[in-house]
Amino acid sequence: MRKLALVRRPGPRLADGIVTHIDRSPVDLDLALRQWEAYVAALHDKGWESIEVDPADDCPDAVFVEDTVVVYDDLAVIARPGADERRPETPATEDALRRLGYRIARIEAPETLDGGDVLKHDGTVWVGLGGRTTPGAVDQLRALLAPLGARVVGVPLAKVLHLKSAVTALPDGTVVGWDPVVDDASVWASYLPVPEEPGAHVVLLDEATVLMSTSAPRTRALLEERGLRVVAVDMSEYEKLEGCVTCLSVRLRGAPTA
């Protein structure tokens, strides 16, 4: 199966990215670019082909390409970001997915949805309801994905920017989260608390391998004890902007053109 990942290079205004739940810290742009390149290289090493979305250099947060779309099966639902200044990020993502053969739908105004609020696993789609995604957008997404057999569940958020700032899922479906920012762990049938906030963020590279930040060594050890292979990359400059390993790509499994 062809494994594709949409990515977008960090732009010159990255340091001006939006922060909401943490204090602003200086961002080293050169280091951020090197970290992005290492992230993409880690995807390549595990058999993923990267496709670069055209730059949106006027948008500081454009590198966080995951927020621009929700992809399910052969359908790409173009997001309507909750921050007005991020809405110019979406057209280039739509163009890339259209070229790949995806069907296109959109979250329609006045509702808003960020892709980082969407966690998918085995037919269930959890959507964070916090500062960026509205209940009406969840209803729209539910209607769009229902014909594909997906079950969409809204998850209230109060402590983080996006749902996937708090939780992600391991290959077996266990949801990992850092308890201080998880509002209600009972949402998930199988939940594993982790000892560090960056440890709650994993990207599934294959059925036995996850990508995560070097900022969570204790969580890495915990996951390795569970039998997972862990690839760790430095995310320091993106973590200063409330970003993480999930934000920097849109993973496409079984693309329509495959």
- Enumerate the active-site residues: 162, 247
Encoding tokens for residue 18?
């939006």
Segments of the chain assigned E as strands = 3-7, 49-52, 69-72, 75-78, 103-106, 118-121, 124-129, 151-156, 167-169, 175-177, 191-193, 203-206, 209-213, 229-233, 250-253
Residue whose entry in the numeric block shows the structure tokens 């539910």: 142
The answer to whether 168 and 181 have CB atoms below 8 angstroms apart is no
How many whole angstroms separate alpha carbon 135 and alpha carbon 254?
30
